[in-house]
Amino acid sequence: SAVGRGPEVPFRSEAYGISAIARGKELRLTLSALDPAAGPPAQDLVFRFGMSGSFRLCPAAELPRHAHLRFLTRESPPRALCFVDPRRFGSWRLGDAWQPERGPCVVSEYQAFRENVLKNLEDRAFDKPICEVLLNQKYFNGIGNYLRAEILYRSKIPPFEKARTVLEALKEREQERRKKDPSMTLSKKVKLRQENPDLLELCHSVPMEVIMAEKQLLDPEHPDNYSSFKNWLQCYLVPGMSSLRDRSGRTIWFQGEPGPMAPKGEPRKAPRKKSPQLKAEPESPSPKVSSFVAKEEQEVKEEQEEQEVKEEQEEQADRPRKGRARGRRTVSAAPAPPEVPQSVRRSRRTSARRGTGEPGSA
């Protein structure tokens, strides 16, 4: 689009296909001509989605707002595969290279991810609370804000427990288990993980739940599906749960005690949903009680609206201004007359009464 910030894609082909592969929070698209002999060489693009980026397939005549990159089909009528990003935190770059600072994917490279964490526990990154470390893509590539809340809730770990303390204990339990039963079969290991998964196993299984049910949970075009996603959540934005802002400014949702490294201040608590029996005796509203779920949703809405206004201004600035190219005269508003000080107005009224009785002229 005219206001897109990504690089121009140097790929032109009358007939081509698109394939994709994901790794953590990145997605790589490969554009390849259907006739490799006659078409251009394949082109790779690596996407990051930010907070609001997504792909959407829609009629080419009905492009959604903020469709910053579009791939057109040759159907009649044509459709467009669009990279839509209202808040413009997402991006794409040319080439097939993943970001070098990102670790193995928690979903597709689970064993390498697990080893990468446990062999690097001396890293200073693990001096931080576990809730903050779970957002470190060097070690937890693919974990975001809602996933960390769900993972910690299921593992019953306080979010502000020191990360190294949590993971070293996990490592010790794993070593003891191997010593007790070195000949444990793979099927028995899988069964144990399913019955009592540890934190790193949950970093794999919880995202997998969303991926397996993504058509029902994450389709923004169908409100009923988003309701299904909200029902799937057990902790994040759930009424009755507590929340605190971590040191990076992100809100972590949890239940129970926050942990020894929690920032100062009492946790905020989202009010529980009232049962039908309580509606007969409504409680008087308290200024201290508010719906933090509604507040967060309102903050997101306001930020999105602010971004839309900013983009509209950018689009207006990019458009040619009508009339100037034809030499039309611009008409400017007449300057407002200077305001007369109050003391001067009072003196004029006084002199008018003392003189002819008519108000003085300025």
pLDDT at position 137 is: 96
Distance between CA atoms of residues 167 and 128, nearest Å = 12
Tokens 């003891």 sit at which residue? Answer: 176
CA distances from 99 to 104, 187, 211, 286 (A): 11, 35, 22, 48
pLDDT at position 196 is: 83
Model confidence at 325: pLDDT above 50: no
Give residue-wise pLDDT tens across range 245-295: 999 999 999 999 999 999 987 787 776 655 444 333 334 333 333 344 455
- Candidates 267, 247, 248; CA nearest to 257 is 267
Distance between CA atoms of residues 207 and 110, nearest Å = 12
Give residue-wise pLDDT tens across range 184-219: 665 666 566 666 899 999 999 999 998 887 765 555
- Candidates 317, 308, 310, 297; CA nearest to 65 is 308
Give 221-242 as a DSSP string: T-HHHHHHHHHH-SSTT-TT-E
**Structure tokens, 34:** 């259907």
Domains and CATH numbers, the chain: 16-94 (3.20.190.10), 110-254 (1.10.8.50)
Identify which has the larger pLDDT, 45 or 322.
45
**Per-residue pLDDT averaged across 222-239, rounded?**
83
**Per-residue pLDDT averaged across 167-179, rounded?**
85
Distance between CA atoms of residues 110 and 112, nearest Å = 6
pLDDT at position 225 is: 65
Model confidence at 297: pLDDT above 80: no
Distance between CA atoms of residues 239 and 297, nearest Å = 13
pLDDT at position 290 is: 37
pLDDT at position 106 is: 97
Model confidence at 169: pLDDT above 90: yes
In this predicted structure, which of 137-151, 278-292, 339-353 has the lowest mean pLDDT?
278-292
pLDDT at position 55 is: 92
pLDDT at position 190 is: 58
Distance between CA atoms of residues 26 and 241, nearest Å = 30
pLDDT at position 193 is: 63
pLDDT at position 56 is: 92
In this predicted structure, which of 32-46, 119-133, 203-217, 279-293 has the lowest mean pLDDT?
279-293
Q: What is the mean pLDDT of the chain?
A: 78
Distance between CA atoms of residues 88 and 52, nearest Å = 8
Q: What is the pTM of this model?
A: 0.69
Model confidence at 309: pLDDT above 90: no
pLDDT at position 339 is: 47
pLDDT at position 283 is: 40
Q: Binning pLDDT at 50, 70 and 90, where does residue 303 land?
A: low
In this predicted structure, which of 107-121, 225-239, 334-348 has the lowest mean pLDDT?
334-348
**Per-residue pLDDT averaged across 224-233, rounded?**
80
Identify which has the larger pLDDT, 106 or 267.
106
pLDDT at position 52 is: 84
Identify which has the larger pLDDT, 314 or 121.
121
**Per-residue pLDDT averaged across 75-99, rounded?**
93
Percent of the chain residues past pLDDT 90, beyond the cut: 52
In this predicted structure, which of 85-89, 91-95, 305-309 has the lowest mean pLDDT?
305-309
Q: Binning pLDDT at 50, 70 and 90, where does residue 104 land?
A: very high
